[in-house]
Structure formats: structure tokens, C-alpha cells
Structure 1
Amino acid sequence: MNMPVLTSLRRRFAALAVLIASLPGAADAQADPAATFTALRAVDQRMATIAYRLTTANAPLCRGLVPVPGWAVHSLGQYDPAMRDQARTSFGFEAPIAVEAVVAGAPAARAGVVANDSILAVNGQPLRGAPGAKADSNARDAAQAVIARQPAAAALRVELVRGGARRTVAIAAPAGCPGSFEVLLGPGMDASADGSIVQIAVRFFERYTDDQVAVVVAHELAHNILRHRARLDAAKVSRGLLAEVGRNGRLFRQTETEADLLGMHLLRNAGYDPQLAVAFWRDHGGDVDGGLFRSRTHPSSKARAQAIADEIARIPAGSPRPYLPPLLATRDTPLQ
């Protein structure tokens, strides 16, 4: 549960060269800047699809359920001012908030929502936010908060505009686990969860299949479901140089193991093969945690894979999906 400062790096566009180098499928972006935005949409759609599958299938394991339409939304203000004209051209912004991507077969898609629709209001509540002089995600975050406050079991009335034509659609969004999911640009292999946001580095999408990326997303979502950040803070753990020492290291390793185990259950509930988690941590854990040079806040790859395999063996035969593992009962237990 590496936790960088959540500055929404994926949206800064501060250096186009970094973006081009980071995004799979953007090799020609230097000659054609529109290719950068095409590649960005593609990777965000992959993330949105994984997140939709995990959050809706595991709603019974989560608290504070929210409607999950099955889309990725963004704001014009997230893009560097120098890139906003291209963003308007590529993403069709006719309002501050727009639909970047739609999950195939999800309620938003069934309601006729398509990428590049701009969103004017949700259940009569306008979505606003004029772009500022610097890139930030404030308008996007405010829009997501409006959506999250809507009743989880009721249809969303969404007012859209495209090509100057307005329309209102009803989206029968299912209830799902709360939180937002972001792709981080740059060369690192970072993955983090802060209690509400899950961030995954774009390098995961470059290197791994969507099923493999889902293992990492499920692990981070498990941290949020188990309230690890809040419980570690309540336990007054030390981070930084002291994170690996004594009680600090023990508690961090405990939460990492718990996230591995619950993450496997989240995958299984969402229809993934739970053995994916065993194979991923066994074969690729060293790529993620640094191998021999890993932080001792994380168990070894071999230990992670074995613990998950043992947890799979403990699932009662014929267990329903979603299955609520006993580990969920610990989410309010103080870490000692």
C-alpha cells in the first residue's frame, strides 16, 4: 500500500514528453498530439472496466454504497492550459465535465451515453467548474462527489449535451463500492490506496493483461474496504525510514497480507479466476515490490502467493458469490 501524495499526476500534462513515454500505444503522439489523448482514453477505459466489475460485484462487502454508472468522467480543468484546445478537439468538451470513456455493456452504455458526451447535470444538480490557470482535478472531484451522493438504488437522471443538442437519459446504475480509480502517468510501478482513491501506474497496463491488472486493483480496493489507512493511523505507525522497523513493519506486513487475501475474494466474487492472484504475486511480485530490494513492509512474493493459495483452499465448497470472508469482520478492529 505505497501511498504517494495524491496530486492527480495523471492529469497534469505538465510535460508532454513524459506522457508520450508513459502511455501504451502513443508512439506516434509526438507527430500527432491527438494520439496522446487517444491512448489516454484507452487506458482509462481499461481501468474503468476493471473498477466497474470489482465494485459492483462486491457491493455486499462494502459500506457507503454509491451508484456506479460504468463510465470514466473527466474535467477540462485537469489538463494543462496549453493542451486544452487539443483536449476540446479530442474529448468534445462542451461543458466543464465530460464522459471520457464508457464501459461496454454497463448501464451508462445501455442508456445511450457515449464518450465525448458532456454532462450538464445529474438528478437536477448542475456540474460546474471553470478551468483555472493551472491544471487541477477540483471540478472532476466535485462532479464525482455529486454522483456519489445520489441514492444508490435509484436511476440517475443525467442531462447531456453533444454537438449543441441536449438530451436527458435515465441510467439504472447499480450500487457499488465507493471510491475513485485513477491511472498515474510516469515511469514508476506505483499502486496506492488512501481510503477512498485507488491509483495504479500506467506501467501496469503496459506490462500486464487486464486480468493481471485486476489483481493489483483488487488488492488496493481491499485496503480501502478493510479501512487500513485509518486503522494504521489510529495505531500511530511511523512511516518513512521507520516504516520497516519493529511494530511498524509488522503492522504494515499484516495489512498487506490482509489486502492480498481479501483482494483474491474480490476477484473471485467478480468472476475472475482466483488463481490469477497466486500466479501474479508468484511470477510478478518482484517487479512490483523490488524483489530482493523490496521494502520489508511487504511480504516476499513467494510468501504472498502461498498465503493466497492457502486462503483459496479455505473457501467452503459451494460458497456463493459474492462470498463474504471472515476477514471482513476485522475491519473495525484496532491494529495492535
Structure 2
Amino acid sequence: MTVAQGAEPVSPSQITQFESLRAVDLRLATIAYRLTTANAALCRDLSPTPGWAIQSLGQYAPASRAAARQVFGFERPIAVEAVVSGGPAEKAGIRSNDSLVSVDGAALPSGDPVAGPANSITRDVALALIAGKPIDRPLAVELVRGGTARKVAIDAPAGCRSNFEILLTPGMDASSDGVVVQIGVRFFERYGDEAVAAIVAHELSHTILRHRQRLDAAKVDRGLFAELGRNGRLFRATEGAADQLSVSLLYNAGYDPLNAVRFWREHGGDVDGGLFRSRTHPSANARAAAIADEVARIPAGAPRPYVPAVLATRDQPLN
């Protein structure tokens, strides 16, 4: 492999690793696009949803940046990692490895990342800028590809405002902090997209139902006493509510919500000891049964988007 003078050598294993990461991020981006756009009517906080995954060069450790440039382009610090098939970004002519220069005339960071540990600050700035744009008009995006700049307009539909990212951890981890939904890479390694969509819908439901803010307002203990007494009861209540709402999110996005029932019946044991701790989350069997009950509440042939009763609880204090 030819290496430019002064550049760090790039190994075939690094190339393979980064292409694998792109494939997983595209799977998550595709699921997220379906769920957020199909359920926009259920969400108060909306943002333009182009149907892409973007990343920054600074997310990678300095020793990996030469490989990241080779695989992902990075003619600018922000680049399009992957594009959802059939989505608005693809229809506008955007392709993987296009670098982003500006959005609606607002310039994105242009300098190389500073030396030091990897961080997502530059990417998060870009995501926040895009999310803050109006949802009633196309996004005007300036790109550069192969040294050639161009401008496109993306007819990005409104979607539930949330960021999504892969956790490169060994456990079966998933979470929502009200802003970012994180899904462990192990879910993508073990299960197909229909099953993973059930996990993503559950975490997105926490965001829509404002569980982080409501739990904080209830002053729950997230430490040693999280599983005990009132703390455990409130955590379990929010998990049950998120399971309920996830059924409608899946239905509205064209997924079969019974896949969530099958997941908990067949694979609940995979996660019970990690992500879903016994006294802050219901058991896998209890979750499967509750989700099945919620599926049965959706009338046959109900129009989409279907709005479930649990949505009305999102402003109620937890006590």
C-alpha cells in the first residue's frame, strides 16, 4: 500500500475496521430515520432529518486519523459517513465521504482537529447547527468532494429531534439521556434490524416521554440506591412507559411491533444481566407480556400515525 510522504501508514485491518463501523452506523441511521420521521406528530421537539450519518475527524484518536481520512475522505473536519438509501440526502445527490462546508450559509468548522484525545465536540456542534434549522424549508448544504465544491438543497422532512450513536463497548448497553440515544454495537452484531429497531424505539421513547428530566425532577438516586424503594419503582415505571410507547413508534414506522415481543421472549436473557438490571427494569418475560398487551390495544387497521394514551403522561410528575 502506497503511503504519502510524512503520513502515518494505514493497515488493511484499520480499513476493514472503519468500513465495518460505517456499515453499523448506516444500519442505525436507517432505523433512526424511519422512527423519527414516521413519529414526528408524536414529538414536540423537531428537526430537519436528512437521512445521513455524519462524523468528525476529531472523533478518532490521532494515531487513527490517517486511516479515517483514507476511508472517510475528510476534506473538511465534518464528513458524511453514510447515507440512508432512498432518503432525502441521497435524493439530493449526497454520497458517503462528501465533506460538509456549510449549512444554510452557516460555516462548519474548517480547521484540523487539535492534538489530543479523541472527542465529539466538532461533530456535536455540526449536529446542533443542523438540528436548529427550520423544518419548513429545504436545507441548503455546501459540500466538497474530490476538491470540487457544490451546493445542494435537501428536502429534509421533520423528525423527532434526537442524536443517535453507536457505543463500542463489550456489553449489551443502550441508553437515552434525553438528547442522545446510544446503542451498543453488540446489538448489531447479534440481531437483525427488526430486533434492533425495538431497542432503538424503546430508547427514543425515553426521550419523547422526557424521562430523564422527570426523573431528575423527582430527585431519584442514580447511584448505589437506584434499585431500592421509590428509586427502583420510578425507574421501573419509566421503563414500562417506554415499552408502551415503543409499540406505537414501531407501528407508525412500518415495523411489526410483535418483533419486540419476540425479542424479549427469545433474547431477553441476553441483556437481563447487563443493560436491564433486575430491580430497575422489569424481567424479560414481564416486558414481553406488557408489550403484547400494548400491541393488542392498537385497533386493527389503525391509521398512522397512531397516538397512544401513554403519550399524555409526558408532563406528569413522577412520584
Structural RMSD (CA): 1.4
The 5-angstrom pairing of residues 240-319 of structure 1 reads: 240-290=223-273, 294-319=277-302
Whether 1:234 aligns to 2:217 is: yes
The answer to whether the Cα contact below 8 Å between 2:101 and 2:110 also exists between their aligned partners in 1 is no
Q: CA deviation digits over 1:70-117, x for unaligned, max 9?
A: 000000111101111111111111111000000000000000000000
Report the equivalent of 2:120: 137
Conserved? CA contact 1:45–1:101, under 8 Å: yes
Aligned-partner Cα distance in 2 for 1:212–1:317: 22
Report the counterpart of residue 15 of structure 1 in structure 2: none
Which of residues 99, 109, 115 in structure 2 aligns to 1:128? 109
Deviations 1:162-189 (A, max 9, x none): 1110110010000000010000102111
1:72–1:101 contact (8 Å) kept in structure 2: yes
Name the count of aligned residue pairs. Answer: 307
SS in 2 for 1:332: coil
Q: Show the counterpart of 2:134.
A: 151
**What TM-score do you get using the length of structure 1 for normalisation?**
0.89
Query: Could you tell me which of 200, 215, 218 is aligned with 1:217?
Result: 200
Letter in 1 for 2:309: P
Structure 2: how far apart are the matches of 1:246 and 1:32?
49
Counterpart of 1:92 (choices 73, 81, 98) is: 73
Mapped to 2, the partners of 1:225 and 1:50 lie a distance apart of 16
Unaligned runs of 5+ in 1: 1-28
Q: CA deviation at 1:261?
A: 0.9
String of CA shifts for 1:139-183, please: whole Å, max 9, x gaps: 000000110111012100100001110110010000000010000
Q: 2 CA distance for matches of 1:216 and 1:129? A: 36
What CA distance in whole angstroms lies between the structure 1 residues aligned with 2:151 and 2:110?
20
Distance in 1, Cα, partners of 2:169 & 2:69: 23
Q: What code does the residue aligned with 2:280 have? A: T
Counterparts of 2:56 and 2:149, CA distance in 1: 19
Query: What is the DSSP-based 3-state SS (H/G/I as helix, E as strand, rest coil) of the residue aligned with 2:165?
Result: strand
Equivalent residue number for residue 5 of structure 2: none
> 1:199 maps to what in 2?
182
2:114 counterpart letter in structure 1? G
Q: Deviations over 1:229-278 (max 9, x none)?
A: 10011011112221111111111001001111101110010000110111
Residue pair 1:129, 1:139 contacting (<8 A) in 2 also: no
Task: Show the counterpart of 1:13.
Answer: none
Structure 1 residue 31: Cα displacement: 4.8
Aligned to 1:112: 93
The separation in 2 between residues aligned to 1:281 and 1:115, in whole angstroms, is 35
Which sections of structure 2, spanning at least 5 residues, go unmatched?
A: 1-9
**1:44: Cα distance to partner?**
0.4
Match of 1:240, SS state, is coil
Q: TM-score, normalised by structure 2?
A: 0.94
Q: What is the CA deviation profile of residues 192-243 of structure 1, one whole-angstrom value per residue up to 9, with x for unaligned ones?
A: 0000100000000000001100000000000000000100110111122211
- Aligned-partner Cα distance in 2 for 1:251–1:212: 26
Equivalent in 155, 174, 181 of residue 172 of structure 1: 155
SS in 2 for 1:183: strand
Which amino acid is the alignment partner of residue 111 of structure 1? A
Aligned-residue sequence identity (percent) comes to 67
Asked whether the 8 Å contact 2:54–2:79 carries over to 1, the reply is: yes
Question: Helix, strand or coil: the match of 2:262?
Answer: helix
